[in-house]
Amino acid sequence: MTNVEQVDLAFAVLGQPIVVRAPAQPDAWHARLRALLAPFAVAAAPAEAEVIGVDYTEADGLWHVTYDKFSNMIGDESRLIQHIEWQVFTCAVQNAPGALALHGGAVTRAGRALLLPGISGTGKTTLSLALTTQGWHYLTDDIALLDETPAGIAVRPCARCCHVSEASLAQLTDRGTALEGPIADLPEHFHAAAPSQAAPVGWIVAPQFTPDGELSLTPLTQAETVALLITSAFRQNTRTLRQQWASAIALARQAPGWRLTFPTLAAGLAALDQVTTKEPVP
């Protein structure tokens, strides 16, 4: 669209400046997006910020979200803000410098992090949040950016909104997990407690929630742990595949890996307690 007044909604996510450039009107969704991305809002972004473009076409009533040559058409404002939020994080992860960016949750206790790599639906969000009632501090539930530090490869905190299903929410509420929300009138979006400080990885556990299955906790070889990490990794523009590979090998040397299949939250937490009572690799 041309000759339409635009506004920039500026964010800094994982250290990456990102602007959502959108029509000033209609603006009902601006406040909702700001609420969804509240921990990352900044007053203004530098000129070199990545730009996610949003246009509105009155003729078909559709929003057009454009980034990196790709465009998506969306009709519903709730879906619009969820899509933009996802796009903001995709952009941030792709461009953030870091040893490895993983799809995974993480918590920390006594200076060591428990990393829970896994795709959506494996239970990593529910486990990450529930662990905060057992002496762990929250780091992230979905995007784990890892940095090389003098103390080893460490998980960076990420305050992205958690996606919590109704069933998980009931269990987390029962356990007394602190959650703020729902955010932006999205019934499954919540902010967790403020994330803790980055911590080197001490344990790696790939969870898989299987309500009809049996509890199993299987140690992985270090090579299997490398495979787990690489298959959970996001593509990063700042890292070659070879560099990601090297980081995964270094991380598998640093921390033992396990595969956890759990039928209930209580069983999953008990198994994680069993793993993490072992002394982590210093």
Partner 1 sequence: MVVFHSTFGGTVMSAVLPDRPLHRAEIEMEIMPDGSAVLYDPRDDRGHVLTAVGALVWDMCDGSQTVAAIGAELATLLPQVADVAGTARELVASFQELDLLTAAPGEETA
- Answer yes or no whether residue 42 interacts with partner 1 by CB under 8 A: no
Q: Which structure tokens are listed for 117?
A: 């790599």
Q: What are the backbone angles phi and psi of residue 101, rounded to the nearest 5°?
A: -115, 125
d(CA 130, CA 174): 10
Place of tokens 């996802």: 86
Which of 218, 231, 243, 274 lies at the binding interface for partner 1 (CB under 8 A)? Answer: 231
- Answer yes or no whether residue 244 interacts with partner 1 by CB under 8 A: yes
Of the pair 74, 217, the CB lying nearest partner 1 is at 217
In angstroms, what CA-CA distances link 141 with 31, 72, 115, 126, 266? 24, 26, 10, 8, 18
Place of tokens 């270094």: 250
Neighbours of 42 (CB within 10 A): 15
Least distance to partner 1, CB of residue 202, Å = 16
Which of 77, 147, 188, 224 lies at the binding interface for partner 1 (CB under 8 A)? Answer: 224
Q: What are the backbone angles phi and psi of residue 83, rounded to the nearest 5°?
A: -65, -45
Least distance to partner 1, CB of residue 232, Å = 11
138: which strand partners? 107
Of the pair 66, 208, the CB lying nearest partner 1 is at 208
Which of 245, 259, 263, 267 lies at the binding interface for partner 1 (CB under 8 A)? Answer: 245
- Answer yes or no whether residue 144 interacts with partner 1 by CB under 8 A: no
Of 25-33, 48-56, 82-90, 239-247, which segment contacts partner 1 by CB under 8 A?
Answer: 239-247
- Answer yes or no whether residue 227 interacts with partner 1 by CB under 8 A: yes
Which of 41, 42, 217, 230 lies at the binding interface for partner 1 (CB under 8 A)? Answer: 230
- Answer yes or no whether residue 242 interacts with partner 1 by CB under 8 A: yes
d(CA 18, CA 6): 16
Alpha carbon of residue 264 to chain centroid: 23
The residues binding partner 1 (CB under 8 A) are 221-224, 226-227, 230-231, 233, 235, 241-242, 244-245, 249, 252-253
